[in-house]
């Protein structure tokens, strides 16, 4: 299922993906009805159906595209009432439904479905694949089926009242959500070849030395939730040049209620619902835990303040402050309900003394007698206590702390805008924010180096992952832009942002079913440059309408006159990356697999130096870094290096020809990455490999794409 290498010296593989066809059908209807000169009613319906069939290359597990299909419905009815010239009331009701699914099958060269159970001793629910992944090697396509359905009902009312120097607004939103997520993950069995045995992931793959393996039952996680928000704001024009704004928003957090499953970890508490569960593991119905799996909180009062001052006829200064709450992602509820005894789940990590067999990964799992506990793969939320089975060590892959809170962000901005001449304006701003109570996922039962990497804090458990509200994040930026309104056929906008983002845990630091924080013993170790930090971004776009050549011959007008040229030019810094540690990133033996490397004192980093040929082969000096010593987490910071930047331009050419009345022929030519500049991926960041510092992959921007089209309007 792996294509042969084409480069005899390195074995490097270059391959293309399969052709992908996407069909999208959309329909929109709207009715506006004026009941009277003071009342208006409108009804709108939007329906979208999209379908992308699965695509795969036989015999190549690296090249496939999941089938994706779904339907989206958005139905709205709204009533606007103007009882007076100074009062407006808008009442809106909406129903929104989204239903999507995805999945795929991989095929061998003979066209037979490919899955691990055809070759090694595991059972799977259907012939699907989830990986495997090979550190610094490859990642096989994920293709297990998943489904997601969300239904939202919303009622909103908004009023605006002008009163002297005041403009008062107030209103509320009431929403009810119903969500159901079904997934085959991780029933196919998930393997990772970390490099723990040889120090190199590809070598471990060839030797059959599995770094980690986990497998679980299917999941079905319906949940429902209320969301309520009430707000009020007063905009007060203190003087003709000075306006003050103050507002308050109340967003109580009503935790979503899920199935009668899931659990929490409270050291020392014995479950009454399932007395045979290991001490510390409690379930809905036990004291201190309800169906929401986390506490609700009504005390979210979020103020907003703003000021605008017109310094002179061409200059305006603005400042603002606001607090915002972030609702919890529904995916975290989905993961929390997948737990024994309702939806059993097992995870083990290889060590030199406890290897995992590729041929028979369950062979070394003494808890099950060296045999797979699957099938059955079904989820059952109504298991009687007498029939509940807890095979120790029990794994808790997702839960919530008893004092969990929603994240809060404080945001502030100060800006100045200046009209330079008619139609030309400049903007300069400082924008910052500080976030706290950020959700981080931490393993409460990591491996202990002094105990040989064993989980000795709570020996009845394996991983105990808990969502805690202890993370912080900050954003600081200088933003500048210039805007030109249409002038002699030209309009343009150019913006530049210089920023820095720091956080404790980023979006991809916490993969599902794995511990998120690299060092669960020291929270400060995990705070650093965020994975979304791009220090410099410049975006310039323009539209130019060429002269129509009025007064010239008809041939010149039709061929050369009236063209429209537009362009979007993007320059930005590269994405950040860390230097990883050794022994499958587990020299610390904490079993988190996210160690970082060490600095070699006195050796320069030499990042992005020399010619392109040089930095493609040596983006950084690999001699400047080494693997972290056993028992440590590494001394290099998080994401302290940046990969190659991006420089790309998209250009469009448009020409219209008019025929009689209401008939038009339009030619459109579009060039994406018009200059065909290559976009490179990140370098190999493992100092223990021979490829350390080398860039061997392309980035997200593809080579030049040209699209030509004709459209006839009548």
The answer to whether residue 530 sits within a structural domain is yes
Give the CA-trace dihedral at 365, 368, 371, 375, to 10 degrees. Answer: -120
What are 24's strand-pairing partners?
Answer: 50
The answer to whether residue 328 sits within a structural domain is no
Domain that holds residue 542: 472-714
Q: Could you give the CA distance from residue 142 to residue 68 in angstroms, rounded to a whole number?
A: 13
Q: Could you give the CA distance from residue 154 to residue 571 in angstroms, rounded to a whole number?
A: 41
Give the CA-trace dihedral at 547, 551, 555, 557, to 10 degrees. Answer: 20
What is the rounded average pLDDT for all residues in the chain? 90
Pairing of strands 67-84, 146-163: unpaired
Distant-in-sequence, close-in-space partners of 386: CB < 8 Å, separation ≥ 6: none
Distant-in-sequence, close-in-space partners of 505: CB < 8 Å, separation ≥ 6: 438, 439, 440, 441, 471, 516, 517, 526
The answer to whether residue 192 sits within a structural domain is no
Distant-in-sequence, close-in-space partners of 5: CB < 8 Å, separation ≥ 6: 11, 12, 13
How many residues can be counted in the chain? 714
Q: Could you give the CA distance from residue 341 to residue 396 in angstroms, rounded to a whole number?
A: 11
Q: Could you give the CA distance from residue 94 to residue 540 in angstroms, rounded to a whole number?
A: 37
The answer to whether residue 597 sits within a structural domain is yes
Domains: count for the chain: 1
Residue in 574, 582, 678 with CA at minimum distance from that of residue 136: 582
Distant-in-sequence, close-in-space partners of 421: CB < 8 Å, separation ≥ 6: none
Q: What is the pLDDT of residue 306?
A: 97
**Contact criterion met (CB below 8 Å) for 365 and 344:** no
Kindly report, residue by residue over 680-699, the tens digit of the pLDDT: 999 999 998 888 999 988 88
Q: Among residues of the chain, what percentage have pLDDT more than 70?
A: 97
Q: Could you give the CA distance from residue 65 to residue 143 in angstroms, rounded to a whole number?
A: 8
Q: Could you give the CA distance from residue 17 to residue 63 in angstroms, rounded to a whole number?
A: 5
The answer to whether residue 539 sits within a structural domain is yes
The answer to whether residue 673 sits within a structural domain is yes
Over residues 642-668, the mean pLDDT reads 89
Over residues 397-402, the mean pLDDT reads 90
Q: What is the pLDDT of residue 353?
A: 79
Kindly report, residue by residue over 112-169, the tens digit of the pLDDT: 888 888 889 998 888 888 888 888 778 777 777 888 899 999 999 999 999 999 999 9
pLDDT band (50, 70, 90) for residue 20: confident
Q: What is the pLDDT of residue 21?
A: 84
Distant-in-sequence, close-in-space partners of 36: CB < 8 Å, separation ≥ 6: none
Q: What is the pLDDT of residue 138?
A: 81
Kindly report, residue by residue over 41-53, the tens digit of the pLDDT: 999 999 999 998 8
Distant-in-sequence, close-in-space partners of 537: CB < 8 Å, separation ≥ 6: 495, 496, 497, 499, 570, 571, 572, 573
Over residues 380-395, the mean pLDDT reads 81
- CA distances from residue 592 to 133, 216, 503, 525, 584 in whole angstroms, order as listed: 16, 19, 19, 14, 10
The answer to whether residue 625 sits within a structural domain is yes
The answer to whether residue 181 sits within a structural domain is no
Calculate Rg over the CA atoms of the chain: 29
SS3 677: coil
Strand extents, DSSP E, 590-631: 598-599, 625-626
What are 651's strand-pairing partners?
Answer: 567, 671
**Secondary structure letter of residue 661 according to DSSP:** S
Q: Could you give the CA distance from residue 132 to residue 61 in angstroms, rounded to a whole number?
A: 10
Over residues 22-45, the mean pLDDT reads 95
- CA distances from residue 61 to 53, 57, 402, 472, 578 in whole angstroms, order as listed: 17, 8, 43, 39, 28
SS3 88: strand
Place of tokens 């040089």: 614
Over residues 472-481, the mean pLDDT reads 97
- Residue 367, φ and ψ in degrees, nearest 5: -60, -40
Kindly report, residue by residue over 439-466, the tens digit of the pLDDT: 999 999 999 999 999 999 999 998 999 9
Kindly report, residue by residue over 608-637, the tens digit of the pLDDT: 999 999 999 999 999 999 999 999 999 999
pLDDT band (50, 70, 90) for residue 330: low
Residue in 108, 106, 138 with CA at minimum distance from that of residue 124: 106
């Amino acid at each position: 299922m792996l294509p042969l290498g084409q480069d005899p010296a390195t074995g490097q593989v270059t391959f293309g993906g399969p052709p992908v066809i996407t069909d999208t059908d959309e329909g929109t209807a709207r009715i506006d009805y004026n009941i009277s000169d003071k009342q208006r009613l409108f009804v709108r319906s939007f329906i979208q159906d999209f379908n992308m069939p699965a695509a795969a290359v036989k015999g190549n597990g690296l090249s496939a595209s999941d089938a994706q299909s779904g339907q989206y419905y958005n139905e709205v009815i709204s009533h606007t009432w103007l009882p007076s010239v100074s009062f407006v009331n808008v009442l809106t009701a909406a129903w929104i439904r989204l239903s999507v699914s995805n999945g795929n099958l991989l095929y061998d060269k003979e066209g037979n479905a490919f899955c691990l159970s055809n070759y090694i001793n595991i059972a799977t629910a259907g012939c699907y694949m989830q990986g495997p992944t090979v550190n610094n090697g490859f990642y096989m396509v994920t293709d297990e089926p998943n489904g997601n359905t969300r239904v939202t009902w919303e009622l909103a009312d908004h009023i605006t009242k002008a009163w002297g120097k005041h403009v008062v607004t107030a209103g509320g939103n009431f929403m009810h959500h119903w969500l159901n997520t079904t997934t085959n993950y991780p029933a196919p069995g998930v393997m990772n070849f970390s490099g723990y045995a040889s120090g190199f992931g590809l070598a471990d793959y060839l030797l059959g030395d599995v770094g980690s393996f986990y497998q679980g039952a299917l999941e079905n996680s319906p949940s429902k939730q209320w969301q309520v928000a009430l707000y009020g704001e007063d905009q007060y024009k203190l003087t003709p040049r000075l306006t003050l704004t103050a507002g308050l928003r109340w967003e109580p957090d009503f935790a979503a209620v899920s199935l009668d499953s899931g659990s929490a970890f409270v050291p020392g508490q014995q479950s009454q619902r399932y007395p045979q569960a290991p001490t510390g593991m409690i379930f809905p119905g036990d004291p201190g835990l309800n169906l929401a799996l986390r506490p609700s909180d009504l005390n979210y009062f979020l103020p907003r303040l703003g000021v605008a001052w017109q310094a002179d006829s061409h200059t305006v200064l603005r400042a603002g402050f606001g607090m915002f709450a972030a609702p919890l992602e529904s995916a975290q509820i989905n993961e929390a309900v997948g737990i024994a005894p309702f939806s059993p789940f097992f995870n083990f990590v290889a060590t030199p003394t406890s290897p995992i067999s590729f041929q028979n990964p369950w062979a070394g799992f003494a808890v099950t007698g060296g045999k797979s506990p699957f099938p059955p793969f079904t989820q059952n939320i109504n298991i009687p206590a007498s029939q509940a089975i807890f095979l120790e060590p029990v794994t808790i892959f997702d839960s919530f702390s008893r004092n969990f809170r929603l994240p809060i962000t404080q945001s502030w901005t100060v800006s100045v805008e200046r009209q330079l001449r008619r139609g030309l304006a400049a903007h300069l701003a400082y924008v910052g924010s500080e976030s706290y109570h950020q959700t981080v996922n931490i393993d409460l039962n990591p491996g202990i180096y002094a105990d040989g990497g064993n989980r000795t804090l709570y020996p009845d458990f394996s991983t105990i992952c808990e969502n805690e509200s202890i993370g912080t994040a900050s954003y600081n930026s200088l933003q500048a832009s210039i805007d030109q309104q249409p002038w002699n056929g030209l309009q343009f906008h150019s913006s530049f942002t210089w920023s820095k983002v720091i956080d404790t845990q980023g979006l991809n630091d916490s993969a599902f079913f794995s511990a998120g924080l690299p060092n669960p013993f020291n929270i400060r170790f995990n705070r650093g440059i965020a994975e979304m930090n791009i220090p410099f971004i410049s975006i310039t776009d323009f539209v130019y309408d060429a002269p129509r050549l009025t007064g010239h011959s008809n041939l010149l007008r039709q061929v050369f006159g009236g063209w429209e040229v537009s362009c979007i030019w993007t320059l930005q810094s590269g994405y950040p990356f860390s230097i990883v540690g050794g022994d499958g990133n587990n020299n610390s033996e904490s079993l988190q697999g996210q160690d970082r490397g060490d600095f070699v004192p006195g050796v320069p980093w030499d990042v992005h130096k020399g010619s392109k040929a040089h930095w493609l082969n040596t983006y950084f000096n690999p001699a400047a870094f080494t693997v972290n010593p056993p028992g440590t987490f590494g001394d290099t910071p998080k994401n302290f290096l940046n990969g190659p930047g991006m420089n790309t331009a998209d250009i469009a050419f448009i020409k219209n020809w008019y025929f009689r009345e209401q008939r038009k022929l339009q030619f459109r030519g579009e060039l994406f990455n018009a200059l065909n500049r290559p976009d490179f991926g990140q370098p190999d960041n493992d100092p223990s490999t021979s490829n350390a510092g080398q860039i061997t992959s392309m980035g997200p921007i593809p080579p030049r794409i040209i699209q030509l089209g004709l459209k006839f309007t009548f």
